[in-house]
Structure 1
Amino acid sequence: MRCDKKDLLLYAVTDRHWLNGRTLHEVVKESLDGGVTFVQLREKQLDEEHFLQEAKDLKELCSEYHVPFVINDNVELAIEMDADGVHVGQSDMEAGDVRAKLGPDKIIGVSAQTVEQAVLAEKHGADYLGVGAVFPTSSKDDATEVPFETLKAICEAVSIPVIAIGGITKENVKELAGSGICGIAVISAIYGQKEIRKASEELKAATEEILKKK
């Protein structure tokens, strides 16, 4: 398996909007110390040269923690800096095309909102699915909400791991119990908090708790 189910328990997505004068390295390290199990570099505002620098630095950091590190959207960049994989949206490109470019050993995550999209992504070689937004979110302007029933139906329709994303906090994560997910992906619930390590620890504990309730 390119990516283990347990690696997807607490999936952190970066956003420099929350840095408040700190470096991305510092905040990601803090989140890893708090138990984050997977990191995605998602930086919409960075030019390619700086993105590449950040990516190489974070890849090294994540490998010290034995945590998978993937790039958002940019398949070429992921290949260039030898990331562990890439996460693509529905509009970015078919997972099959991504697999052909990345080769057999890299992790491919695909965003899905419907059962049809999920089944197709699995067929095309996706390793895991990110499904959402499960709650209202301010991180993505175009995020459509995915009801609990759809999330559950997606989890039942595919055999690859599914993580929920979008507006998840340690308070509302319990509402996802019984959906069939194997973890959650968050941005501000970790990186928007004053104490990143503590936020990561609490969120991880809350997620482990709901995963016990099958």
Structure 2
Amino acid sequence: MTALPQKIYPVVDSATWVDRLGGAGARFIQLRLKDMEEDALRAEIRQGHAYAKQHGVCLVLNDYWQIALDEGIDYIHLGQEDLDTADLAAIRKGGIRLGISTHCHEELDRALSCNPDYVALGPIWETKLKKMAFGPQGPLKLTEWRKLIGNLPLVAIGGITLERAWACIEAGADSVSAVSAFIRQPDPEGQVKAWLAAVEG
């Protein structure tokens, strides 16, 4: 099983962030775009991909698997609901790596049946970014998932801060993901460097 590119995994909402955080040293970034017209969406993804290539970033596109195939994106990340409509055979044939969100044992079983390249577990702590059907899982659930999935890469997400990042790595996560802790901070580039120092020590 291929290791993840880095122990930090920022999730961003525009191509500009791929440029900024990639320039600061992030090498594994998810581009999550919502509510955009098709032409604008594709243009934003292409720009994000260009920035990713410029900085040596492994780019992950959230949801839009068909565009990921068209544009040659490195990874696609799918939620459980996305699995209902995604063409997993086409994704595999296109050589794109696959990450899948999980929140409970049933979802983990479903994700594993898709032979993903990583699974994400969340929310580890409470998050206010979006309404979640599942409550905080806590770091101990990461340890449980680690035992269940063996060597498959594991991503922790949800309510993770700089101060909490190392606890997730210790509990079994291969990478820690966050949105607000990177792009909603006064010094996002500084956050990238601080997180890298925290989890790679």
Asked if these proteins are the same fold (TM beyond 0.5), I'd say yes
Q: Which amino acid aligns with 1:121?
A: A
Q: Percent identity?
A: 25
Question: Could you list the runs of 4 or more consecutive aligned residues of structure 1 that deviate by over 6 angstroms after TM superposition?
Answer: none
> Which residue of structure 2 aligns with residue 199 of structure 1?
191
Residues 192 and 143 of structure 1, relative CA distance in 2, 3 Å threshold:
farther
> Which residue of structure 2 aligns with residue 103 of structure 1?
92
1:199 is displaced (CA, Å) by: 0.8
1:152 equivalent in alignment to 2:166: no
How many residues align? The count is 198
Q: TM-score, normalised by structure 1?
A: 0.84
* Aligned-partner Cα distance in 1 for 2:133–2:57: 27
Residues 98 and 201 of structure 1, relative CA distance in 2, 3 Å threshold:
farther
Aligned pairs for 1:31-46 within 5 A: 31-46=21-36
Which runs of no fewer than 5 residues in structure 2 stay unpaired?
none
Q: TM-score, normalised by structure 2?
A: 0.89
1:120 equivalent in alignment to 2:110: yes
Residues 98 and 37 of structure 1, relative CA distance in 2, 3 Å threshold:
farther
* Aligned-partner Cα distance in 1 for 2:73–2:196: 24
* Aligned-partner Cα distance in 2 for 1:139–1:98: 28
1:171 is displaced (CA, Å) by: 1.8
8 Å Cα contact 2:9/2:26 also seen in 1: yes
* Aligned-partner Cα distance in 1 for 2:79–2:42: 20
Aligned pairs for 1:1-150 within 5 A: 3-5=2-4, 7-15=5-13, 24-25=15-16, 27-93=17-83, 98-104=87-93, 105-142=95-132, 144=134, 145-150=136-141
1:118 is displaced (CA, Å) by: 2.4
Residues 177 and 161 of structure 1, relative CA distance in 2, 3 Å threshold:
closer
Q: What is the RMSD of the two structures over their aligned residues, measured on CA atoms?
A: 2.0
1:68 is displaced (CA, Å) by: 1.3
8 Å Cα contact 2:79/2:100 also seen in 1: yes
Report SS of the residue matched to 1:140: coil
